[in-house]
Structure 1
Amino acid sequence: MKLFLADISKIDLEYAQLLNKERRERVERYRLVDDKKRCILAGLMTRRFLGNAEILKNEYGKPFLSDGRFFNISHSGNYVLFALGKSEIGCDIEKFHYVTAVRTGKTVFNDDEMNLLLSSADRLGTFFNLWTKKESLLKCMGEGFHRSAKSVDVCSDVFEEKGKSFFMKTWNFSDYTVSVCSEENDFPKLIEFIGTEELLFQ
């Protein structure tokens, strides 16, 4: 498994010309500059790490590759996260910001997760850890929020269902929380930061 993180701060809107027609059209649909930059950066990372591999989508819209590899992308704030593995994978990054942790948590967390949140000395930090784990798990399972968020439990780092095990790992850096979920428990120790220059040339 490989995890890559890149910053939008050095992304120029002109870099969209390096991307395929579908991605360029997607960039154009965004109104805010930072949204355009995140879309361009995701496109550059896809081009760099997937090459010309055919990208397909499952019934819930989750993309996967025809060559047997799996990938997932998430973005928040200044960063785009790219996860690449040999088994199903899901990832989520969230910039730390104020939310009403308990009120919001009640809409997505089950009873055990709410108990963990309520007993935590750092409710906001615990909220984002649980939220990103849940998002990455649902994405890894291929259903996203088409499935009830309360139907999966992320109190531990392993969720089991129908004979399958899904493993989760969380990183916290600066004011961001990152969680990744995979069917294989082979997480790297560190997330690799990659510069814009490395993405501009294949």
Structure 2
Amino acid sequence: MKTSRLYISFSNIKSVKLFSGKEYSLNTNDIIIYCIYLPDFIDLKSDLYEFLNSIEIKKAKRFYKEIDRNRFITYRAILKIILGAYTKLAVKNIYLDYDFNKKPYLASHPWLHFNISHSENFAIIAISRKKVGIDIEYLSEDFKFTNLLPDIFDEKERLTIQNAADKKKTFYSLWTRKESFVKALGKGIDEDFKYIPSLDGYHNVDFSLIKNTQNWQVYSFEISDYYLGAIAFEGLSPISNNLKMYSIPNTMTDLLKLIPIK
């Protein structure tokens, strides 16, 4: 039976401010995370709206709540700005394609892998030359997760959560790991989700489960006291100098510096 090697751990990566003049190129092992604190961009929504195409504008208008509409405008526009920085494409002309599991990609630049996740006040974007998936979750006080455990975790994972000092944080840690991994695979959530590994350490994963023979890494990280994230990507090479996280500046002057000059 073919198997993939999967390594899972925590990362102490911390977000640093994105600086102007940064060179937007990717080495083979680079894994870049961009962190967006959405409330900081509320005053820029009119400017960011201009980067959306007609399809995205229609989608924005379908949001019932204004706060959700504004969040979408912000993270979609910033995603396109970042993609423009790496591809040198005009931002307005960037159209996302989607695979059968609705994972976005750029047909014009198949070497550029990216993924996005958002929850409440934060959105995060992962960029790499490797297949990558990312997930973020708000640690909700009201969410009752106990009844869900048998459906999404195996016995060992359930015991880890039940015996943890902070059950809620442990639940979200394991959940985001699974979610980021299936997003990286382009697999989506299905009946096999509970069998996707999420505990620390090395795992051998059967081809029949993930339909993939590559090796993988998954890392958990904290964004703030109430937000946990996880990122999954191909390969088992060391990533200490290649995994970076930047916070997106909230002025149009700084954002416009990311846009390639034609």
Judge same fold: TM > 0.5, yes or no.
yes
What SS does the aligned partner of 1:18 have?
coil
Distance in 1 (CA, whole Å) between partners of 2:147 and 2:250 is: 39
* SS in structure 1 at match of 2:123: strand
* Alignment: residue pair count: 202
Using the size of structure 1 for normalisation, the TM-score is: 0.89
8 Å Cα contact 1:13/1:36 also seen in 2: no
What is the letter of the counterpart of residue 58 of structure 1? D
1:177 aligns with 2:228: yes
Structure 1 window deviating more from structure 2 (100-109 vs 26-35): it is 100-109
Tell me which of 93, 96, 112 is aligned to 2:139: 96
Query: Are 2:3 and 1:3 aligned?
Result: no
% identity of equivalent residues: 22
Q: What residue is the counterpart of 1:165 in the other structure?
A: 215
Q: Is contact 1:171-1:177 (8 Å) kept?
A: yes
Q: Which runs of 5+ in 1 are unaligned?
A: none
Q: Please say which of residues 16-25 and 52-61 is displaced more in the overlay.
A: 52-61
Query: 2:32, 2:243 within 8 Å by CA — same for their partners in 1?
Result: no
Alignment-derived partner of residue 131 in structure 1 = 175
Q: 1:199 and 2:233 equivalent? A: no
Higher helix share: 1
Distance 2:38 2:73 in 1: 9
Kindly provide the amino acid, as one letter, of the partner of residue 156 in structure 1: D
Range 182-191 or range 93-102, more displaced = 182-191
Task: Tell me: CA distance 1:50–1:158, structure 2 relative to 1, closer, same or farther (3 Å).
Answer: farther
Secondary structure of residue in 2 paired with 1:127: helix
TM-score, scaled relative to structure 2:
0.70
Structure 2 alignment gaps of length 5 or more = 1-30, 208-212
Secondary structure at the residue paired with 1:144?
Answer: coil
Deviation at 1:57, TM superposition (A): 2.1
CA-based RMSD: 2.1
Structure-1 separation of matches of 2:248 and 2:105: 22
Aligned counterpart, 1:60: 101
For the 8 Å contact 1:91–1:178, the answer to whether it is kept is: yes
